[in-house]
Structure 1
Amino acid sequence: MASLVVAFFVAALLYASVGFGGGSTYTALLALAEIDYRLLPLLSLACNIVVVAGSSLRFARAKVTPWRNALLLTGVAAPAALLGGLTPIDETTFLTILGASLVLTALTLLLRPRDTATGAPPRFARLMPVLAVPLGYLAGLVGIGGGIFLAPFLHLTRWDSARAIAATASLFILVNSLFGLAGQLLKGGTGRLGAAIDFGLPLLVAVAIGGQIGSLLALKYLPQRWIRYGTAALTAWVGGRLLLNV
């Protein structure tokens, strides 16, 4: 358990420093530790909520959250996340999708975000609410927030400024995690929740501390590029390990 707590702390620190929750990596770490795969989404989504709740609040207080557009994307994705959480899935399919999503995540972290929005959004940006639906479903299915997939598309389409996109991704992760967690509980019953809490309390404490430190480092000390590359390397390694073990 001690090594898992340290791994969750480091993952939360890295992901929080780039504006994400880290749910996909938490799930993969638990899978590599051979924890019952039916508990993985519950634990990962709970950790996600702990990490991004603070980030969403900070963005809101700083008045950088584009509420109208952020709520539109989140509103259409949340029911899909609930449906994803309700969907039965076997262990092999679950781990394969998770491993592939982690490798994709590592690639998206290497994309360089734009500092500001440039001109009017391209036509594709207007289709983002449509794209948000399958991202929400995937989030609920494998126990992640989905913001780490959404953010690169928002940057590529020049949807808004970098800070506004980070705020939107944080809100997207928070709401999808809540709805995905509800779906997982409806599917598996409350018995699994008790087992997840008994096992995962030290992990929740670790990500709460790591997330706060990660936010502080990003704001005051470490260059964002270094943090993004470190997070991408960790994500790629965990995803690759997971795919090799399937």
Structure 2
Amino acid sequence: MPMLAALFALTALLYASVGFGGGSTYNALLVLNGTDYRLLPAIALICNVIVVAGGSWRFWRAGHVTFARIWPWFLLSIPAAWLGGRLPVSETLFIGLLGGSLSLAGLQLLFDARPVEHAEKRHVARPISFAGGGGIGFLSGMVGIGGGIFLAPILYLLRWGGAREIAGTASVFILVNSLAGLAGQLMKLEAEYGVSSATDALRDYWMLFPAVLIGGQIGSRLGSTRIPPMLVKRLTAALILYVAARLLWRWIGLIS
């Protein structure tokens, strides 16, 4: 567990620096650790909340979060994340869906070389924001992540804002959807395990929670003020593709 906690702290530091919580990599690390896949989403979402709560505050204080612009993306994502968290999925579907989605997101960011910080912002029609937020929220709740790793590439593609504004928006998006998804996941665990058994199972992983708190605080401080915008974008792509490759390798092993 100490080694796993150290890896979680490093993951939190790297992801918080680009406005993410790290839920996708927490899931991958837990899969490789042999954790019961039914517990993975709840553990990852708890870690997400711990990491992005501080990051959201720092990005807001730095002026990178504007609630008047972001609320259309949140309106349907919150109930959809709860609904996705309630939906039972098989281990094979869980890992394959997560790995495939992250691959597409990472490749889009990797090959998009357009400047991101000083480009003209484009207006996005609200129906697109509603549909995009709802779809991301549902998928995120189902696989146990906050959804920022899906939202950020879409916002870059739509030229919605600069790199730090997108990172801050993704951070808040992860926070609210992680809370909604976690509520759904805990209800599902209680039905499958029973209340006391689910609590005991999650308690075994307590060491991971202070680890991500420390890593996340360091990473969010760096990301909100010091890292160049293009580097933010490239780090995002690298992290997404690394996690996707590990998950898809695991998925191939399950179906072969």
TM-score (norm: length of structure 2): 0.85
Q: Distance between the aligned counterparts of 1:213 and 1:32, measured in 2?
A: 26
Q: What is the distance in 1 between the residues matched to 2:142 and 2:249?
A: 21
User: Paired residue for 2:90?
Assistant: 90
Distance 2:144 2:165 in 1: 24
Could you say if the C-alpha distance between residues 238 and 109 of structure 1 is closer, same or farther in structure 2, counting changes exceeding 3 Å? same
TM-fit CA distance, 1:98: 2.1
Map of 1:2 onto structure 2: 2
Tell me the residue number matched to 2:77.
77
- The answer for the alignment partner of 1:129 in structure 2 is 130
Q: 1:136 to 1:122 in 2, by over 3 A?
A: closer
Residue identity in the other structure for 2:172? L
Counterpart selection for 1:206 from 208, 211, 214: 211
Q: 1:225 to 1:157 in 2, by over 3 A?
A: closer
Name the Cα RMSD after superposition: 2.4
Q: Deviation at 1:71?
A: 2.0
Distance 1:35 1:160, change over 3 A: same
| Corresponding residue number in structure 2 for 1:116 | 118
Q: 2:202 — aligned with what?
A: 197
Equivalent residue number for residue 144 of structure 2: 143
Structure 1 unaligned blocks of 5 or more? none
Aligned-pair identity (%): 49
Given that 1:116 and 1:162 are in contact with CA atoms closer than 8 Å, whether structure 2 keeps it comes out as no
- Render the CA deviation track for 1:90-149: whole Å, top value 9, x for unaligned: 1111111122233334335534561035154266x7612211111100100000000111
1:161 is matched with 162
- Relative to structure 2, which stretch is displaced further, 20-29 or 162-171? 162-171
Q: Check the 8 A contact 2:163/2:233 in 1, yes or no.
A: no
Cα shift at 1:170: 1.2
* Aligned equivalent of 2:23: 23
Maintained 8 Å contact 1:41/1:144: yes
Aligned residue-pair number: 245
Name the residue aligned to 1:188: 189
Distance in 1 of aligned mates of 2:72 and 2:137 = 13
Distance 1:60 1:40 in 2: 29
Unpaired stretches in structure 2, ≥5 consecutive residues: 252-256
**TM-score, normalised on structure 1?**
0.88
Whichever residue aligns with residue 95 of structure 2, its letter is L
Change (3 A) 1:55 1:220: closer
Distance 1:234 1:149, change over 3 A: closer
**Separation (CA, whole Å) in 2 of partners of 1:10 and 1:108:** 25
Q: Is contact 1:73–1:128 with CA below 8 Å preserved after alignment? A: yes
Task: Give the equivalent residue in structure 2 for 1:39.
Answer: 39
Structure 1 partner of 2:153: 152
- Inter-CA distance 147–223: structure 2 relative to 1 (3 Å threshold): same
Cα separation, 2, equivalents of 1:103 and 1:120: 26
Deviation at 1:22, TM superposition (A): 0.8
- Higher mean Cα deviation, 133-142 or 233-242? 233-242
8 Å Cα contact 2:121/2:161 also seen in 1 = no
Shift of 1:210: 0.7
Greater Cα shift, 57-66 or 11-20: 57-66
